[in-house]
Amino acid sequence: MNTVNPSDSIRNGYLEVYHDRLERANNTQDPALKQHFQTELAAIQQTLDALGGQGGQSPVPGGGPQAPGQVPPSGASAGPSDGQGDGLGGGDAGGVDPGPQGPGDGEYDAIVEKYAQQYGIDSAVMKSLMAKESQGDTNAVSSAGAVGLLQLKPATASEMAGRQISAEALKQDPELNIQLGTAYLARMIDEKGSLEDALGAYNQGPNADWRSSAEGRDYVKSIMESLQTGQLPSWG
């Protein structure tokens, strides 16, 4: 009777995901979405390298670095490094320009860049998002109950974290707020397929048609224009 090596099944599963993300990265014209997929590819490649090493096989035909535009991982990070990107990567590792100073005189820039790199989002996007949502006020609370720097609702934050997150925690722990907000925007980019649609979903909700809302249209326009000008958007 033929037996299947469990590690082969795991490796094959990662290969399927790798090639799916590679195809999507090559097909998209959205720079932010392309960067998001490239970061996923780098993380998957690390896992495939480990699995391939166990079996003595090359994990991906041609090797991971052959993926167009892919940036190799640096250390334990799966984010872009070595300044090989086109200015779209998060963080300042390897000489990548971290973009304009964020709200609050850049008080949270290091944290923003850390998680922007981890989730494959341009740090300038997250700084603009934070400016639009709170202008760097950790105690900001919306009429809808969204809290803190990136204006997360406790229910959304709890879903992203896989544990109960209170409104007070979202106020008192800026890093937690930034991490979960960045992860949520990354999810929206993955689901919606473009940065504009992801921002619209962040503002109006994942199931809403943001284009039919004047507030949603103004929100997305404000952030997209800020990315072009390098000037942070106004609050609200």
Which residue is catalytic, options 40, 113, 133, 196?
A: 133
Task: Convert the pLDDT of each residue in 69-102 to its tens digit.
Answer: 333 332 222 222 222 222 222 333 333 344 567 7
Task: Convert the pLDDT of each residue in 148-192 to its tens digit.
Answer: 999 999 999 999 999 999 999 999 999 999 999 999 999 999 999
Mean pLDDT of 111-120: 94
Is 191 considered catalytic here? no
Q: From residue 127, give the alpha-carbon distance in Å to each of 52, 89, 99, 181.
A: 38, 13, 9, 12
Mean pLDDT of 4-32: 68
Task: Convert the pLDDT of each residue in 208-227 to its tens digit.
Answer: 999 999 999 999 999 999 99
> How many CB atoms lie under 10 A from the CB of residue 156?
19
pLDDT at 206 over 90: yes
